[in-house]
């Protein structure tokens, strides 16, 4: 797990165009559409943990692990 402050710092510096200090800005900077980023920011502000995984060829394994540990899925509108 990443502590909230550390996550904010990582997201804020994650990509060009990120609004410094906001979850939504960091997610948009990572290429996540604004509508989806807004949803995730709301979840984060509600105290939920946001986990991102670059799984490539191990996508099925990653989703199985996350599901096994109670992850909630949200269909996104097209993550880059």
Question: What is the model's pTM?
Answer: 0.58
Which pLDDT tens digit goes with each residue over 16-61?
444 445 778 878 887 888 888 888 888 888 888 888 777 889 989 9
Which pLDDT tens digit goes with each residue over 63-74?
899 889 888 877
Report the alpha-carbon angle 53-59-64, nearest 5: 90
Domain ranges of the chain: 4-68
Contacts of 49 (CB under 8 A, 6+ apart): 1
């Amino acid at each position: 797990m990443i502590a909230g402050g550390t996550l904010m710092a990582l997201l804020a510096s994650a990509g060009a165009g990120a609004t410094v200090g906001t979850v939504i800005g960091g997610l948009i900077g990572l290429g996540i559409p604004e509508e989806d980023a807004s949803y995730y920011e709301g979840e984060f502000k509600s105290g939920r943990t946001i986990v991102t995984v670059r799984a490539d060829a191990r996508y099925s394994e990653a989703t199985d692990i996350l599901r096994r540990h109670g992850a909630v899925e949200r269909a996104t509108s097209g993550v880059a």
